[in-house]
């Protein structure tokens, strides 16, 4: 159990690392979050302009993600 805890801890810590100095790499979780943040602001603007298009895009993205998870692997 300790080995499993160490493995999970190392993996999560490495993935969630932030860039404190210029030479330090950024973790994968922070890179993915940055991508979602950019798309989130786009979806927020779209939601304010046209809710019908927003809902269509939202459900299309959910369906695409579900397809990717179920068939892509």
Instruction: Give 43's contacts (C-beta < 8 A, 6+ positions apart).
Output: 54, 57, 58
Q: How many residues does the chain have?
A: 73
CB atoms within 10 A of CB 38: 10
Q: CB-based burial of residue 47 (10 Å sphere; 0-12 exposed, 13-18 middle, 19+ buried)?
A: middle
Q: What is the pLDDT along the chain (73 residues), one digit of tens a residue?
A: 888 888 887 777 777 777 777 787 888 777 878 778 777 888 889 999 999 999 999 899 899 989 988 887 6
Q: What is the pLDDT of residue 8?
A: 80
3-state secondary structure of 17: coil
Q: What is the pLDDT of residue 50?
A: 95
Q: What is the pLDDT of residue 45?
A: 92
Pick from 5, 4, 30: which is nearest to 15 by CA?
A: 30
**Is the overall model pTM greater than 0.85, yes or no?**
no
């Amino acid at each position: 159990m300790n080995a499993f805890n160490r493995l999970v801890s190392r993996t999560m810590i490495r993935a969630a690392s932030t860039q404190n100095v210029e030479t330090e790499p950024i973790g994968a979780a922070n890179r993915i979050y940055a991508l979602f943040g950019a798309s989130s602001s786009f979806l927020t603007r779209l939601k304010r302009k046209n809710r019908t298009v927003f809902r269509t895009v939202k459900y299309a993205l959910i369906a695409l993600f579900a397809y990717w998870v179920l068939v892509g692997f």
